[in-house]
Amino acid sequence: MPGRHFLFVPGPTNVPDRILRAMHVPMEDHRNPTFPDLTKPILEDLKKIFKTTTGQCFVYPSTGTGGWEAALTNTLSPGDKVIVSRYGQFSALWTDLAQRIGLDVQVIDEEWGTGTHPEHIHAILEADKEHKIKGVLVVQNETATGVTSDVGAVRKAMDAAKHPALLYVDGVSSIGCIDFRMDEWGVDLAVAGSQKGFMLPAGLAIVGASQKALEARHTAKCARVFFNFEDMIKSNATGYFPYTPSLPLLYGLRESMKMMFEEGQENVFQRHHYLASGVRAAVSAWGLKNCATEPKWFSDTVTAIVVPEGFNGADVIATAYRRYNLALGAGLAKVAGKVFRIGHLGDLNELMVLGALAGAEMSMLDIGIKIEPGSGVAAAQNYFRSSNSVIANAAE
Ligand SMILES: *Cc1c(COP(=O)(O)O)cnc(C)c1O
């Protein structure tokens, strides 16, 4: 197939050529004497990405799911009570994992298309006078519905209830693209993965832990071996890992963070907001609905678009893939068939987004969805042209 494949799923995302080149390395002994020169700066730079000076970051050869497990098993014991807000397939999967490792999980079900309601968390914590609840689990960016929740507001709700539970945040599809402030928001465990905002292949789980979370490992009794913080802490202190790390991914991670710092973290967030706003302008022009029910929930990394009654989102995705070489995200679980998703995170600019919008538009027309040809693309073009670009161009 000539030309580039258009990858617009919300992870894995496009790997920039710079990162591909950085990962193209011969293997080396991961116990060699200069290895810490690679790993120590990576572990320090991750703290800047997570915005923590007091916490510690861990890198596991794993995926986001492993990060969930590491965060919970290192800090909790079987039977410990946690509460989790559930409003999409990822918060549902984290809930399932928490149950399967033996935690006592109280689920706060929210309408899909909305996110965490801090007032619901506050009410539950306030009623828990004996402090039986040990953890509050929140997915910052629910990738299934394109909903972003306000983590700072969750911290405020926890503080208002004067509750000592640990705050666990899934930032897999947000950290590195949407603002995340581990220290300021008092996040105790933060989970990221390599294949979304970090613009890498899948294969790394990145976990941030606060001092309070690290303290909790001394009493936590959940079984853990591969994910044990203790082993990581000991090895990382000297710049090594307790087992064989993925060398290409470490070199890639170093390059990825270099790119983020060169662009400027705040500029990266602004670029995501700007590109997402172009996508949202297209959705409105098509006369279609965003699965996120209100603007305050809109995600800057992924948009789930509700297909009109009588159509199946899977047909839009299949047409886009087969006919136009464009990968769009599927609707998952409760919203299967009802939505298709455009991932707009990572290494992207305006024209790439316009290409995806054009492909989505043609695919919808091909299966008979009545939208005005060109309307979404034009709306996004108008949005981009009338806004100040936040994207550095080649002339700069
Ligand atoms: C992708 C994703 C995960 C799962 O990560 P894997 O790397 O597939 O294990 C978890 N949470 C969110 C919000 C995600 O987007």
CA of 169 to the centre of ligand 1 (A): 12
CA-proximal residue: ligand 1, atom 4 (nearest): 64
Per residue in 196-242, pLDDT tens?
Answer: 999 999 999 999 999 999 999 999 999 999 999 999 999 999 999 99
pLDDT for 373: 98
Q: Are 152 and 183 in contact (CB under 8 A)?
A: no
Q: Which atom of ligand 1 is nearest to the CA of 11?
A: 1
Ligand 1 contact, 203 CB (< 6 A): no
pLDDT for 396: 59
Cα–Cα distance for residue pair 209/264, rounded to 1 Å: 24
Ligand 1 contact, 202 CB (< 6 A): yes
Cα–Cα distance for residue pair 174/182, rounded to 1 Å: 13
Ligand 1 contact, 197 CB (< 6 A): no
Q: Percent of the chain beyond pLDDT 70?
A: 99
**354-388 burial, b for 16+ CB within 10 Å, e for fewer?**
bbbbbbbbbbbbeeebebeeeebbbbbbebbeeee
Per residue in 33-72, pLDDT tens?
Answer: 999 999 999 999 999 999 999 999 999 999 999 999 999 9
Q: Are 341 and 331 in contact (CB under 8 A)?
A: yes
* C-alpha 3: how far from chain center: 28
User: What's the CATH number for 17-261?
Assistant: 3.40.640.10
Instruction: Give, for ligand 1, the residue of 137, 140, 172 to mutate: max count of ligand atoms closer than 8 Å to Cβ.
Output: 172
Alpha-carbon separation of residue 222 from 24, 61, 383 (angstroms): 38, 20, 50
Ligand 1 contact, 312 CB (< 6 A): no
Q: Are 366 and 339 in contact (CB under 8 A)?
A: no
Q: Which atom of ligand 1 is nearest to the CA of 193?
A: 7
Per residue in 116-154, pLDDT tens?
Answer: 999 999 999 999 999 999 999 999 999 999 999 999 999
Cα–Cα distance for residue pair 208/174, rounded to 1 Å: 14
pLDDT higher than 70, residue 395 = no
CA-proximal residue: ligand 1, atom 5 (nearest): 64
In CATH terms, the superfamily for domain 264-395 is Aspartate Aminotransferase, domain 1 (3.90.1150.10)
pLDDT for 74: 98
Q: Which atom of ligand 1 is nearest to the CA of 68?
A: 10
Q: Which atom of ligand 1 is nearest to the CA of 65?
A: 9
pLDDT for 338: 97
Ligand 1 contact, 64 CB (< 6 A): yes
Closest CA to 393 of 267, 299, 285: 267
pLDDT higher than 90, residue 176 = yes
Mean of all residue pLDDT scores within the chain:
97
Ligand 1 contact, 173 CB (< 6 A): yes
Q: Are 358 and 229 in contact (CB under 8 A)?
A: no
Ligand 1 contact, 90 CB (< 6 A): yes
Ligand 1 contact, 101 CB (< 6 A): no
Sign of CA dihedral 145, 148, 153, 154: positive
pLDDT for 388: 84
pTM of the model: 0.98
pLDDT higher than 70, residue 279 = yes
Quick check: do 17-261 and 264-395 share a fold? no
Q: Spell out the domain ranges in the chain.
A: 17-261, 264-395
Q: Which atom of ligand 1 is nearest to the CA of 171?
A: 13
Instruction: Give, for ligand 1, the residue of 143, 174, 299 to mutate: max count of ligand atoms closer than 8 Å to Cβ.
Output: 143
**How sure is the predictor about 394, in pLDDT bands with cuts at 50, 70 and 90?**
low
pLDDT for 295: 98
Closest CA to 122 of 86, 94, 153: 153
Ligand 1 contact, 172 CB (< 6 A): yes
pLDDT for 390: 83
